[in-house]
Structure 1
Amino acid sequence: MKSKQGYEPIGEERPLELGGRGDSSSSHNDDNNGDATTKSTLMMGAAAVILATLAFLIGRSTTTSTPGGEETAILPNLNNVPTRICEIYSSSHTSSKLLKSGSGGIQMIQTSFAEPSKQWSEVACVHVKNRRHLQEQDEELQQQEYGTAQINIDFDKVAFPDRPPILGFGGAFTEAAALNFNSLSQQGQDAVIELLFGKSGLGYTLGRTHINSCDFSVESYSHDDTDGDFTLDDFDTEVTHDLESGMVDMMLLAQKSVDESFPKEVDEYGMRIIASPWSPPSWMKAPTSDDVEGALHAELMTGSALPVCLRDGVGEDSKYAASWALFFDKFITAYANHGVKFYGVTVQNEPEFPAPWDACAYDVSHEGDFIANHLGPQLQKSHPDVKLLFFDHNKDHMVKWANELLAKDHPASKYIDGTAVHWYAGGMDRLLDGAQGNPNMHRMVSELDVMDVRKDHVLLGSEACHCPTTGYAGGDLSIAWARAMRNVHTILADLAAGSNGFIEWNLILDSIGGPNHLGNLCDSPVLAVPHRALDAEKDFPAQLSFEHAGHPFGEVHGDNKTREELNAEGSPAKYLDVGVVVQPMYYYVGHITRFVRPGSRAVHGLVGASAGDPEVRTFRPKGQRVAGGGINDLARNGIEVTLWPCEGSTRQEWLLNEQKQLQVFGHDWLGAPTTSCLAKKPDKDFDGLLLTTCNIDENKSGLFEVLPVEGKQSKVHIVSSNNKKSCLVVQPLRNNGGAYGPRGGPQVNVGSCDHPWAEWGFDSITGEITSSAFDALGGVCLTTGWPFLQVGAFDTSATTAANGAVIVTNEAGEHANYVIENRGETVLAASIPPKSIQTITFN
């Protein structure tokens, strides 16, 4: 599964105040190899502290640290300001192509933290033909000195017209998912299939499964355990384990649901499943440090030797590599015989990580040799229609691997059809999952063009989940909501960068996030709780026999809530009654999957600054010193620093402190103020500046001086105190920002002060640092991560009745007014509540 590189538990256990449970404190070390001797303690201790830290995503305190260092009460800026109802301005000639005559025009649905039980609820929109009404409303809002964000859309500007369209979204058919699915009654199973794959549900069309076992299996298993069986005569051609666990049947039910729900998509798209190996049979693997001295092969499928797991390497003469490639062939054939035809396979799940669970490591060179010498030729001979995706790991090293293996002179390149990538940050801090690496996605798409890779090369998000355990078990709705918001942000950002789809990890898990035979419990949008079904027998166990983790994170708080309480929190009682918990992330991701169907394409869309007075911002009124939007929950070490249109929020508020560091402020998971500082040099993997510790002794943060630019009023250089010739400079995204455009997330780096993009504005009163690099398009502000207010826009006309869809998300603790303009013409004006998502379709 995901990388947890180099975990080491330290110190003593201490209680943490999160939903009444006691967790452990752990620290992070950067050694990627980990320590196989601490596997059990490592997984439990690391997971426990991570759950607690997830609380930071939603501010628990009513105070924030300002650039002056004092604590100031944060109250919603817009409480006394009129909010917009949904008003449609459909008379524009440039908007007419979006609206089919007589169809009713625009529709908006909303899911909001303020009303968690009203998911996908329709917002009543009114048609306004007189644009003077909009001008009058703007004047009223401007009198209050609050801004209206300008969301600029261009449905004629497809971001990646020469690349494949969006293939869809989905989740993984693991053994854990199948066991939980089969624990439900027939009514429960029918509900889950419709929830995940049906027309009234998410409408998933992508899936993933494991070749042999993964960590989300009850135990390690292989389809051929005969040592030395190089021709795989003993391979289980019935894949009996997967049949008996229910994995195959669940895939067939999903395929049937997709075919019946989306008949117009079937011929070109339909249900597409990829298969990924976690580990070969142990007899194929080289011994690890855990094995006895002199062992001929690894005893277990867990862990891996380095730099490659296979016993005799991956050279042309490797018997084990050849047999392992044949294993793929037989696995694909076995599933096809059961009616499941795979769309593709990945070479290896997380090849850079010798995980404490089922694993097989490769470095880039060895994966390339395995593809070129064995797997590529084997698949080309036996399954030429099955796509081969490489990498299947985190975004940090994706471009490095692509530069080597996709080069035309590399013998593996001719066999590779796509790239699979995970959303994890690696390391200890689970709150960075889904928050890192988006500029690398842009860089990757640019590399595909530069290297002249085939235009049909697929870039697919192949795994994402939140850990540890589940929102239901933790019992804190704010944490579950924060996870939902992170999911949607990452999906929209990846699609804007050129991704072709996004696959969640497990489709369904139990109440605590298992089973997992290494105790690596995680979350999923839908959970099986058969003990809560109305027809459950008396004393039906809360944990079934396949779940042997016990209660590693303490009490399961969701079990202590009534069906009415859970229903009010957004887990509908009608599903609880058949033993199913539907979590907030389900409804959030549905704002995308239900409307951005396969065949859709990302189009230009960006939340710009507010119109009118340049000092007025979406979240900060004119004259206010403290930034708005609520706490900065991205003021966290490891977050990338980027540039976006200014919104006046705490994510764009900086202080040049007494130590000459550029500092940002937020809150940790207990509500206490936290700080991070701008690093002094770019990260080697992400190629831009990140937030880092402000501890001067650690020597990671930059020391800066703000000096006026000679002859340019109000322009400054932010000069490195260590090197007077080095300044902060704007580093544009490699593919010109993809669907967001050049102002949507360019990086910041250190470079020559003579560079024209080394000129900044620094307002020490508001804390804004602005760049004029894109003045022709509009100003941008230095931002921690991404703004509170975000948008994704899509041409959906290929397979839906709607011509377009716009998804607006607001992660702030305050509502925001906005106007959507298509090619400069206003089509809609509205407000979005705090911690909410809206989808607008143009029918």
Structure 2
Amino acid sequence: MFTRLVSLLVVYIISTRDLSHCCQVKQFAGKDSFVCVCNEAYCDSIVTEPNSLPDHLTIFQSDAASHRFSKSIISFNELLLDSDALVDVHIKVNGTDRKQQIFGFGGSFTDSAGINIKKLPAKLVDQLIENYFSETKGLGYTYGRVPIAASDFSQRYYTYAEVADDFELKHFKLAHEDTLYKIPLIKKALSVSKDLRLISAPWAPPSWLKTSHRPKGLGILQDDPGSKYWKTYANYIVKFLETYVQHGIHFWGVSPQNEPSTGLMPNWPLNTCGFSGHMMRDYIKKDLGPALKKAGFGKDKVKLMIWDDQLLDIMPFIRVILEDKEAAEYVSGVAYHWYSRLSLGNWTRAERYATDIIEGLNHWSTGWVDWNLALDESGGPNWVNNFIDSMVIVNNTSPEYYKQPMYYVFGHFSRFLRPGSTRLGHSIIKNNAENEVKLTV
């Protein structure tokens, strides 16, 4: 399914981009590529400078063998004379066929990300945040995802309402993970990316709201939509948004539930809560939508994103919601997922990132938000041992971190497809590679 990309090239007829430092290479046995090491003494970064050469293109190249955002400049004449040697795909662009605008790209402020980043010296913490959120030296992230209470990428399971039957949420309280990890990290990111948009999502409600009375496995909210159990879960989300506002953090979007299909699976190993499409429809129109609107978080302030799950079964779920006029009034968009296990220096993984982003954009996606900003060398911590990969891996024993191949491949999109960029219509004359066309203004 995934075409081999010998080299990922992004060409722009705009300003040149320069690499201020080359990658400090570290190779892991058995891997098809390498990572770039960042420590207090050295870390590569991307610096922008205007292109003073007329009639020239700036090319940025990343590949498995040696390149990480390597820059070269070529004239239009050279490009035309040697075009077959440069490319494996010929694209006819229709500049008048303008598709969707790009909202942006980003990553997630999980507890695990905060735990790993906090282990680093202060200088490296600032450097890592810059690597992700700086538009002039990093990937230029403009989105951040924040779990409401514990996700699986926490060291323990917790919620903000541990007192049973507290339907008025009088005992609602943020956890130390918020004040120690999430909030400080978000504020650092906001100091670098002023236009950062934050999206939140709950993994599970307090267990006393669920039929199973436990966080994992099969379990839905007790009673029916419109009841005190469902309204309490809606108000729980509202309380989270309000409490973060008190800390100076405002959210652009919220999801009603992370991976709602998993809570309908008997042996699902992660904290979750199940919703069918019909259940979510009624929850949105009877409970969550009105609660958000009443609290001043209507869709003009906070975007409600439905599904937030794997692509499988997405259409039946969202169709039943969007075909209901009352529920659809509260909905602004759709979110979907995929994940992979940790593999240091894996170029094939980077190619899969590129393929997934291109496929998403070709099917009208407006952005792409990665999962954990940083994990350790086991792909955690994770309280249910669901270890996966991350663009940045923090060394457990030395004050350094590794930027994975997928970090750089992701940058070929996030760095140049800035918010407001537009996908253009095009046709493929010769197709030997994944392809996409964007207009960056």
Q: TM class, shorter-chain normalised?
A: 0.7 to 0.9
Is 2:379–2:387's contact at 8 Å kept on the other side of the alignment?
yes
| Structure with larger RCO (C-alpha < 8 A, sep 6+) | 2
> Which residue is 1:125 aligned to?
74
> Which residue is 1:243 aligned to?
178
Match of 2:199 among 274, 280, 303: 274
Is 2:3–2:434's contact at 8 Å kept on the other side of the alignment?
no
Alignment of 1:656-675 (within 5 A): none
**1:412 maps onto 2:327 in alignment:** yes
Q: Deviations over 1:569-611 (max 9, x none)?
A: xxxxxxxxxx1111100011111111101111111245422xx
Relative to 1, partners in 2 of residues 1:584 and 1:247: Cα closer, same or farther, differing over 3 Å? same
Match of 1:283 among 203, 208, 230: 208
**1:341 maps onto 2:250 in alignment:** yes
Superposed displacement of residue 793, structure 1: 1.3
Is 1:525–1:585's contact at 8 Å kept on the other side of the alignment?
yes
Amino acid at match of 2:232: S
Q: Deviations over 1:296-332 (max 9, x none)?
A: xx1x322232xxx112232x2x111111111111100
Q: Deviations over 1:22-63 (max 9, x none)?
A: xxxxxxxxxxxxxxxxxxxxxxxxxxxxxxxxxx9899xxxx
Match of 1:185 among 101, 111, 121: 121
TM normalised by structure 1 equals: 0.44
Relative to 1, partners in 2 of residues 1:226 and 1:588: Cα closer, same or farther, differing over 3 Å? same
> Which residue is 1:471 aligned to?
343
SS of structure 2 residue aligned to 1:348? coil
Q: Deviations over 1:519-552 (max 9, x none)?
A: 000000011115222xxxxxxxxxxxxxxxxxxx
> Which residue is 1:252 aligned to?
187
Superposed displacement of residue 388, structure 1: 1.1
Is 2:56–2:73's contact at 8 Å kept on the other side of the alignment?
no
Amino acid at match of 2:94: D
Alignment of 1:719-734 (within 5 A): none
- Name the CA distance, whole Å, in 2 between partners of 1:179 and 1:483: 24
- Name the CA distance, whole Å, in 2 between partners of 1:357 and 1:399: 24
Is 1:89–1:129's contact at 8 Å kept on the other side of the alignment?
no
Relative to 1, partners in 2 of residues 1:101 and 1:214: Cα closer, same or farther, differing over 3 Å? closer
Alignment of 1:362-381 (within 5 A): 362-381=275-294
SS of structure 2 residue aligned to 1:353? helix
> Which residue is 2:417 aligned to?
596
- Name the CA distance, whole Å, in 1 between partners of 2:13 and 2:328: 50
Amino acid at match of 1:234: H
CA RMSD of aligned residues (A): 2.8
Is 1:303–1:359's contact at 8 Å kept on the other side of the alignment?
yes
Match of 1:330 among 227, 230, 239: 239
SS of structure 2 residue aligned to 1:169? strand
**1:386 maps onto 2:302 in alignment:** yes
SS of structure 2 residue aligned to 1:532? coil
Alignment of 1:810-829 (within 5 A): none
Is 1:177–1:506's contact at 8 Å kept on the other side of the alignment?
yes
- Name the CA distance, whole Å, in 1 between partners of 2:291 and 2:273: 19
Q: Which residues of structure 1 form unaligned runs of 5+? A: 1-55, 60-77, 79-85, 91-99, 142-146, 260-269, 288-297, 425-464, 534-578, 610-644, 648-788, 798-843
- Name the CA distance, whole Å, in 2 between partners of 1:501 and 1:235: 33
**1:156 maps onto 2:93 in alignment:** no
Superposed displacement of residue 242, structure 1: 3.2
- Name the CA distance, whole Å, in 2 between partners of 1:516 and 1:327: 24
Q: Which residues of structure 2 form unaligned runs of 5+? A: 15-50
**1:795 maps onto 2:422 in alignment:** no
> Which residue is 2:376 aligned to?
510
Match of 2:110 among 174, 186, 194: 174
Structure of higher CA gyration radius? 1
- Name the CA distance, whole Å, in 1 between partners of 2:11 and 2:197: 39
Superposed displacement of residue 285, structure 1: 1.0
TM normalised by structure 2 equals: 0.83
Superposed displacement of residue 410, structure 1: 4.1
SS of structure 1 residue aligned to 2:386? coil
Identity %: 31
- May I ask how many residue pairs the two structures share in their alignment? 393
Alignment of 1:179-578 (within 5 A): 179-198=115-134, 199-236=136-173, 239-259=174-194, 270-287=195-212, 298=213, 300-305=214-219, 309-314=220-225, 316=226, 318-354=227-263, 355-382=268-295, 383-384=297-298, 385-407=301-323, 409-422=324-337, 424=338, 465-467=339-341, 470-472=342-344, 477=345, 480-533=346-399
Alignment of 1:82-97 (within 5 A): none
- Name the CA distance, whole Å, in 2 between partners of 1:279 and 1:792: 37
